[in-house]
Structure 1
Amino acid sequence: MLEKQPTTIRDAQGTLTVVFSEATTAPERVRCAKLASTAFGKSLSAEGYLEREEYLGNLPLARGAGWRFWSLTSADNSDVVLAMCKTLHRDLLVRDTDGATRQEQGYCICSVITDSGYRGRGLASVLLKHVAEWLDGAGHAKASMLYSDVGKFYVSKGWDVLDAFQSTLAVPPPIPREELDGLPKTRLLTIDDLPDLCERDVESLKNDFRNSEPAADTILVAVLPTSPLISWLQSRTDFMNAKTHGKVPKTKGTICDSAGAWMYWYHDLRHNKLIVQRVKLPKGQGEPAATQALAKLLLDTLDEAAKWGLQKVVLWNPGSELRSAMDFLAAKMKIDVTSEKRENSEIPCLRWRDGEKLNVTVWPNEFYGWS
């Protein structure tokens, strides 16, 4: 068990001693969750947020030590949580500069929050310093990621900002069926389809990494789109949609079997958008077959968004294959596509073990890695 570590802060507001520790008991986690709810649970009641935390904590990705809570408590009263965050398990795939490819332990840092009465006193810095020490030690982390609206804040803490580009497709009026002639057939996915597809996706990514040829000094890293991770995110959005809108979409994506390509999506009913979580690109398809397969999958996302009255479809960091498909849709069907860099929301950041500054490329860098 992690030994509790006290830190004394002396500033213009006085002297404050805090204790860093892992919240392992149910009461400790509830106290952490109550603080987190003040920033991250505004769309839910306090009770609803605690219910969601308990529900998510029992899912395969988080069960046991997959989801850990870290806190700074008052040295005078351990029941008073002044700052907290969580670490959530990630399976990483790493291709090192020597060409070796292997699976490594990783984490996503989430729900970093300081009590409003203690902000500006460096508590988040103290918290993250201790969490980083745990990551480098007992956590056996090769790397960790976080997603933040204040990405630059984390640079001084050791997490470097990654690319944060996105493309947005405006949901069009119904497309005449004749416009779809010549495009490959697709079918919709349900939650039951995902485990097998995730397994195929993971093996395909491993093969891609083994056969990749990055620059000599570049390390390739991927968050593996495993079934526990994808299902955790799907379960999270299902819970939120049920609580905030009283309904849960049943379709989870679309697949083009002939091209070996598929997409998972994420219904964000609260923010009126459909987010593409993961795109499995076509294999063994030349042009224009690959472009047309991806275009048809994107049309399915637009159709799904329209069914739910959502205004847009969002993709993170689309590569050249997806950009070609979006260009195809813009030219052939006049679908409005906007591409831009995200500056102030969900900025991905990465920290390598021991804070090493290396030339690391995260690929793919899609929404499914987010928490």
Structure 2
Amino acid sequence: MSLVLATDAQKAQRDAVTHAAWGSPLSVPQYQEREARLRAHPWSREGMNTWLWLADDGRVLASCETFHTDSFLRGADGQLTQGDSYGIASVFTEEHLRGRGHATRLMDAVAAELEQVAPRPHSVVLFSDVGAPLYRRSGYVEVPAWDWHLDAADAPGGRPVDGGLQETDVAGALARMRQPDVPFFLWPSAAQVDWHLERERIYADLLARPRPRSCGAVVGDSTALWTMNARYGELVVLMLDARDASAAEALLTEARRVAHQAGLKRVVWWEEPTTASLLGGVPGAVRVQRDGSLPMLRPLRPGLPPAPEVPFPRALWL
């Protein structure tokens, strides 16, 4: 058995196979268009690879994708050192090949390869929809995952935001956000955030849906970035830097209005240690244990803190 990088033709072949897992509500041709457009995005072109685990006769036994993401490790002097982390996505084994350990061998081989090729190796992360045991075998450790839900509504009153954000504002919005004051964290680039917005553009085109009027908002020194998940009718908060409870409520109230205007059902954001204490007081907010997208981390070097101490904003999801 061997690990290889997929050719463009092999990527297209895998798209037809993986549609059953991730394609709904798109048709097979629409899903193939989605995948082609996402691969053509600048962030994907810069740091995405598709890996195949092959049998000795060349048959594909399992596949996955990896995306490069910047990460930062704080030294004893408090200074941050930038490194290389990778997100793993689209781990797939066809049904008739499951139960034989192919996915585990693929994950082990990919991690070993990344340890060798990463200039400044830090970690590999994934977001499991099949629980933790499969990936624990390959050294991944899960992080408890909770969501907050808020129904979309044209909510009246409350503290107004200073303004909405457009796609051209993403880089500036990220620059004004506070990075986590923790020993180790991953931080998305503006291109990575725009990759999420490209997903929004694709689904809006293919499903003939209106797009939200903004991709975020600011109030005082506080900032939020969000995107539409048309598949589930949600406005998903990608990054939230709220300096106090009042700002958190203002940003999320604005998100409710934006979601309502776009015909979405709710606003959803991932709980993070830095914002959890601010969210309980937002009127109507409901905390629920996440069903899927369980963050898991595997170190590529010694000395990283335990996975539960690492924050995972939704912008890191793949």
TM-score, structure 2 normalization: 0.90
Counterpart of 2:65 in structure 1: which amino acid?
K
- Residue among 193, 197, 201 paired with 1:238: 201
C-alpha contact 2:229 2:236 (8 A) present in aligned 1:
yes
Q: 2 CA distance for matches of 1:242 and 1:51?
A: 11
C-alpha contact 1:142 1:353 (8 A) present in aligned 2:
yes
C-alpha contact 1:151 1:348 (8 A) present in aligned 2:
no
Q: Deviations over 1:225-264 (max 9, x none)?
A: 31011111111122123212443334111111xx211111
- Residue among 19, 42, 50 paired with 1:60: 42
Q: 2 CA distance for matches of 1:356 and 1:245?
A: 48
Partner SS for 2:45 = coil
Match of 1:368 in 2: 315
Counterpart of 2:73 in structure 1: which amino acid?
V
C-alpha contact 1:277 1:366 (8 A) present in aligned 2:
yes
- Residue among 68, 81, 106 paired with 1:89: 68
Match of 1:149 in 2: 129
Match of 2:191 in 1: 228
C-alpha contact 1:167 1:318 (8 A) present in aligned 2:
no
Q: 1:366 to 1:321 in 2, by over 3 A?
A: closer
- Residue among 250, 253, 260 paired with 2:221: 260
C-alpha contact 1:184 1:293 (8 A) present in aligned 2:
no
Counterpart of 1:60 in structure 2: which amino acid?
P
Q: 1:241 to 1:306 in 2, by over 3 A?
A: same
Structure 2 unaligned blocks of 5 or more: none
Q: Percent identity?
A: 25
Q: Is 1:337 the equivalent of 2:275? A: no
Tell me the CA shift for residue 92 of structure 1: 0.7
Aligned residues: 316
Tell me the CA shift for residue 132 of structure 1: 1.1
Q: 1 CA distance for matches of 2:308 and 2:213?
A: 34
Match of 2:211 in 1: 248
Match of 1:315 in 2: 269
Tell me the CA shift for residue 130 of structure 1: 0.6
Tell me the CA shift for residue 324 of structure 1: 3.0
Match of 1:129 in 2: 108
TM-score, structure 1 normalization: 0.78
Tell me the CA shift for residue 356 of structure 1: 7.4
C-alpha contact 1:186 1:297 (8 A) present in aligned 2:
no
Q: 1 CA distance for matches of 2:25 and 2:55?
A: 29
C-alpha contact 2:126 2:296 (8 A) present in aligned 1:
yes
Q: Is 1:107 the equivalent of 2:86? A: yes
Alpha-carbon RMSD: 2.3
C-alpha contact 1:221 1:360 (8 A) present in aligned 2:
no
Tell me the CA shift for residue 184 of structure 1: 4.8
Tell me the CA shift for residue 346 of structure 1: 0.7
Match of 2:231 in 1: 270
Tell me the CA shift for residue 198 of structure 1: 2.2
Q: 2 CA distance for matches of 1:269 and 1:30?
A: 24
Partner SS for 2:29 = helix
Partner SS for 2:197 = helix
C-alpha contact 2:184 2:304 (8 A) present in aligned 1:
no
Q: 1 CA distance for matches of 2:32 and 2:113?
A: 26
Tell me the CA shift for residue 175 of structure 1: 3.5
Q: Deviations over 1:152-203 (max 9, x none)?
A: 121121110012112112234x444xx42xx2542111111112222333xx
C-alpha contact 1:32 1:69 (8 A) present in aligned 2:
no
Q: 1:167 to 1:139 in 2, by over 3 A?
A: same
Tell me the CA shift for residue 304 of structure 1: 1.0
Match of 1:299 in 2: 253
Regions of 4+ moved over 6 Å: none
Q: 1 CA distance for matches of 2:37 and 2:257?
A: 31
Q: 2 CA distance for matches of 1:263 and 1:223?
A: 17
Match of 1:286 in 2: none
C-alpha contact 1:265 1:276 (8 A) present in aligned 2:
yes
Q: Is 1:198 the equivalent of 2:174? A: yes
Match of 1:11 in 2: none
Q: 2 CA distance for matches of 1:117 and 1:325?
A: 45
Q: Is 1:324 the equivalent of 2:305? A: no
Structure 1 unaligned blocks of 5 or more: 1-5, 7-18, 213-219, 283-289, 331-335
Tell me the CA shift for residue 133 of structure 1: 0.6
Q: 1:36 to 1:362 in 2, by over 3 A?
A: farther
